[in-house]
Amino acid sequence: MSSSTAILKAEFNLLKEELIAKYDELGMRASGNWANTLKVEAESYSAQITGAAYSEALENGYKPGKQPPSEAIEQWIIAKGISAQIEGDISISSLAYLIARKIGREGWDRANHGGTELISSVITPQRMQLIIDKVSENELILVTSDITNLLNSFYDSI
């Protein structure tokens, strides 16, 4: 692994840790599945953080038109302790279906529920520029060293 790749991997691992900390700070953790899905991949001069398909919904909400899966909402109901509150009134699966149906019809606007900026407050253009600057500085040092060694070999041979 090149030193630039190592820098990218370290920086993106820090971003991942900060995303998880922000997730917890905002009180968004229910099952913890979202945090557990975050993975860092770094190769050559490229790096990315991948995660659950619903990451965008955590940041921006959910547009109307398509009903989310009831199973995911069932897990959320259980993880948030809502199942104990509804016991005997309605089944978890029925409540999950009703919530999913409403989200499918009306969407779910994150801004109306406190807005999170979960991702955008951590992965900012300024932060990305700092990472680019670190990698660039490292590459400049390597190129300068290579040129210096090349010139020294040249002068030693004449």
> What is the pLDDT averaged over residues 102-114?
77
Q: Provide the number of structural domains found in the chain.
A: 2
Answer yes or no: is 152 within a domain: no
Residues 2 and 51 placed together within one structural domain of the fold: yes
Determine the pLDDT at residue 116: 73
Domain with 119 in it = 1-60+114-143
Q: Are 57 and 27 in contact (CB under 8 A)?
A: no
Residues 72 and 98 placed together within one structural domain of the fold: yes
Candidates 59, 93, 90; CA nearest to 75 is 93
Residues 54 and 9 placed together within one structural domain of the fold: yes
Q: pLDDT tens digits for 50-84?
A: 998 888 888 888 888 988 888 888 888 888 888 88
Determine the pLDDT at residue 115: 57
Answer yes or no: is 87 within a domain: yes
Q: Would you say residue 22 has pLDDT above 70?
A: yes
Confidence of residue 28 (pLDDT cuts 50, 70, 90): confident
Residues 134 and 79 placed together within one structural domain of the fold: no
Answer yes or no: is 149 within a domain: no
Answer yes or no: is 154 within a domain: no
Min mean pLDDT across 103-112, 131-140, 147-156 is at: 147-156
Answer yes or no: is 128 within a domain: yes
Residues 118 and 52 placed together within one structural domain of the fold: yes
Residues 76 and 25 placed together within one structural domain of the fold: no
Q: Are 37 and 51 in contact (CB under 8 A)?
A: yes
Q: Are 68 and 75 in contact (CB under 8 A)?
A: no
Answer yes or no: is 101 within a domain: yes
- pTM (2 decimals)? 0.74
Largest Cα–Cα separation, the chain: 92
| Cα-based distances in Å from 30 to 23, 37, 65, 148 | 10, 14, 25, 55
Q: Would you say residue 114 has pLDDT above 60?
A: no
Answer yes or no: is 7 within a domain: yes
Answer yes or no: is 85 within a domain: yes
Q: Checking DSSP bridges between strand 108-109 and strand 61-62, what pairing results, if any? A: antiparallel
| Cα-based distances in Å from 78 to 70, 102, 107, 108, 130 | 12, 19, 22, 20, 40
Q: Are 83 and 77 in contact (CB under 8 A)?
A: yes
Query: Which residues have C-beta within 8 Å of that of residue 111, sequence separation ≥ 6?
Result: 61
**Higher-confidence position of 139 and 67:** 67
